[in-house]
Amino acid sequence: MSKYGFGGGGIELPKLDTASPARPRLEPQVIEKAVQAGSELGFVNREPSPRLKPGPKRREPQDKVSIPGPKRVVDAFRAYCQHRNITLWEGLEQLMTIEKGRGDQG
């Protein structure tokens, strides 16, 4: 006996057929009928829906900026944006527009 407990040549496995039986072709109407019946019984589609990024559609290329600074300044900027109900980038854009309007007077 071998160390696995089989004597001799092991066990006989059935021969595999290389050609698998052909599946019958289903008509689209039969599939639609089955889906309709499933819907009526309360089955729901479990296919994953494509994930979209949250928020509004981006209309122009995006980038990020990270500016470390004193907490009082960052908090004041966030409060500025929150008070005006705008995003941080919109607040930055507003401040840059205000500064641009001043020109090089200073």
This prediction's pTM: 0.43
What's the whole-number mean pLDDT along residues 78-98?
A: 94
- For the chain, the distance separating the N- and C-terminal CA atoms, rounded to the nearest angstrom, is 98
- pLDDT tens-digit profile of 58-86? 788 888 889 899 999 999 999 999 999 99
- pLDDT tens-digit profile of 4-52? 666 666 677 777 777 777 788 888 898 889 888 988 888 887 887 777 6
Is residue 78 within 8 A of residue 70, CB to CB? The reply is no
